[in-house]
């Protein structure tokens, strides 16, 4: 059962066109806040469609952090945060001095539900943060409806959801802010990098200033070179021109990326459906179009108890794996210590963290790789009783 092929869990897709785009920037003199960032913002907005206004930033975490700063959320406030997500979602809340209130997920999709959010609201709740887990869009119309009734802001963490749509509308454009990541294993990359998105132009403009020291005018808007004012506090969360050039080149191919991921995911769905004792994290909601970020396979007992062994044997066969996410955030040491979390809470998130394994998906795979991965997993499971 030794596979001849090494299949990494993920690999960035960098073409000669991407390399030429980055080199062209290095041959010029403008390395930051220049035309590449501006064009990338416009082209990204065009891809999202609707009323998107985009702001290039240094990471998704930077976009999340600025969302809370911009909406004035701080000490004494609470923000709903999914238990099953990346720590960035909770850290952003902590950095403004507010309290993350964690909510468990739906065991089938890994997403928070409108009901789960509603029961966690208190008079101190100021915002709801959602993550579209594995690229499956949350039920955004119901979540936005709840937020509007309660006067709450909605921050969408779209780090792994580029291309995901609900009722045809791209995620990130339902709430008050959408935060995207271009970290290397994402749908597209700029090395590090991200995009802050809002359907409100004024919000995007304000966050654009916040990301660049709070400066009131861009280089082209200055009547005298070097002359500007700083009417508000700011940060430096900018993206460089080299990154933006890479992002522009990548976003041109995003439809191909999404199509291939969808095709491979459908193959996984079909093949995994024939194996007993495993379940794919997936959505049956016809209104939800996933971005197919990852193939997260939930193991039934007794396989779940042998997860580490299964992972090691897949890796030994040349198949890369990962786990989404390694622990529910409230169980991570910082949050467990600070909030004395009951380890038995967030049962669904804990089950996905403790009993799932994610297998490769991306442009580096061919359909035959999917067949090989599923066959290898199936063979390993047959040896476990």
Ligand X SMILES: Cc1ncc(COP(=O)(O)O)c(C=O)c1O
> Where do contacts with ligand X occur on this chain (CB under 6 A)?
59-61, 85-86, 88-89, 131, 157, 159-160, 181, 183, 194
- C-alpha 193/C-alpha 65 separation (Å) is 14
CB-nearer residue toward ligand X: 179 or 319: 179
CB-nearer residue toward ligand X: 85 or 376: 85
- C-alpha 59/C-alpha 54 separation (Å) is 13
Residue 26 CB, nearest approach to ligand X (Å)? 23
CB-nearer residue toward ligand X: 84 or 377: 84
- C-alpha 156/C-alpha 221 separation (Å) is 31
Q: DSSP alpha helices (H): ranges in 27-171?
A: 35-48, 60-70, 87-95, 114-120, 140-150
Residue 269 CB, nearest approach to ligand X (Å)? 22
Residue 153 CB, nearest approach to ligand X (Å)? 17
Which DSSP string corresponds to 216-279? SS-GGG-SSTT-----S---B-PPBHHHHHHHHHHHTTHHHHHHHHHHHHHHHHHHHTTSTTEE
CB-nearer residue toward ligand X: 139 or 156: 156
Structure-derived torsion over alpha carbons of residues 180, 40, 69, 96, reported in degrees to the nearest 10 = 50
Residue 136 CB, nearest approach to ligand X (Å)? 12
CB-nearer residue toward ligand X: 267 or 331: 331
Greatest Cα-to-Cα distance within the chain, rounded to the nearest angstrom:
75
Phi-psi region of 384 (alpha: psi -120 to 50; beta: other; left: phi over 0): beta
Residue 325 CB, nearest approach to ligand X (Å)? 7
DSSP summary character for residue 183: -
DSSP summary character for residue 53: E
CB-nearer residue toward ligand X: 131 or 242: 131
Residue 82 CB, nearest approach to ligand X (Å)? 9
């Amino acid at each position: 059962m030794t596979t001849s092929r090494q299949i990494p869990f993920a690999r960035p897709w960098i073409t000669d066109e991407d390399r030429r785009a980055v080199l062209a920037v290095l041959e010029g003199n403008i390395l930051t806040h220049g035309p590449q960032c501006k064009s990338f913002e416009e082209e990204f907005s065009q891809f999202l469609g609707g009323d998107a206004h985009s702001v290039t930033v240094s990471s998704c975490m930077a976009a999340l952090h600025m969302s809370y700063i911009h909406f004035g959320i701080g000490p004494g406030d609470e923000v709903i945060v999914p238990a099953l997500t990346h720590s960035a979602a909770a850290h952003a809340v902590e950095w403004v001095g507010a309290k993350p209130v964690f909510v468990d997920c739906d065991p089938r999709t890994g997403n928070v539900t409108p009901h789960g959010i509603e029961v966690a609201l208190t008079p101190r709740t100021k915002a709801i943060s959602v993550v579209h887990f594995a690229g499956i869009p949350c039920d955004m119309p119901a979540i936005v409806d709840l937020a509007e009734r309660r006067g709450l802001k909605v921050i969408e963490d779209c780090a792994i959801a580029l291309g995901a749509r609900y009722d045809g509308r791209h995620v990130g454009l339902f709430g008050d802010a959408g935060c995207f990541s271009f970290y290397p294993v994402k749908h597209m990359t700029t090395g590090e990098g991200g995009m802050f998105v809002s359907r409100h132009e004024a919000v995007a403009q304000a966050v654009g200033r916040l990301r660049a020291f709070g400066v009131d005018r861009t280089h082209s808007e200055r009547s005298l070179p070097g002359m500007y004012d700083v009417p508000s506090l700011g940060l430096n969360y900018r993206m460089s021109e080299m990154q933006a050039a890479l992002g522009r080149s990548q976003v041109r191919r995003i439809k191909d990326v999404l199509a291939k991921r969808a095709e491979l995911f459908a193959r996984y769905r079909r093949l995994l459906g024939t194996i007993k004792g495993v379940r794919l994290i997936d959505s049956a909601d016809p209104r939800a179009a996933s971005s197919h970020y990852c193939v997260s396979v939930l193991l039934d007992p007794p396989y779940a108890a042998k997860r580490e062994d299964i992972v090691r044997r897949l890796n030994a066969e040349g198949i890369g794996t990962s786990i989404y996410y390694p622990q529910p955030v409230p169980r991570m040491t910082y949050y467990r210590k600070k909030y004395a979390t009951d380890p038995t809470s967030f049962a669904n998130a804990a089950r996905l963290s403790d009993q799932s394994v994610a297998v490769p998906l991306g442009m580096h795979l061919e359909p035959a790789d999917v067949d090989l991965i599923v066959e290898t997993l199936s063979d390993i499971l047959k040896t476990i009783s």
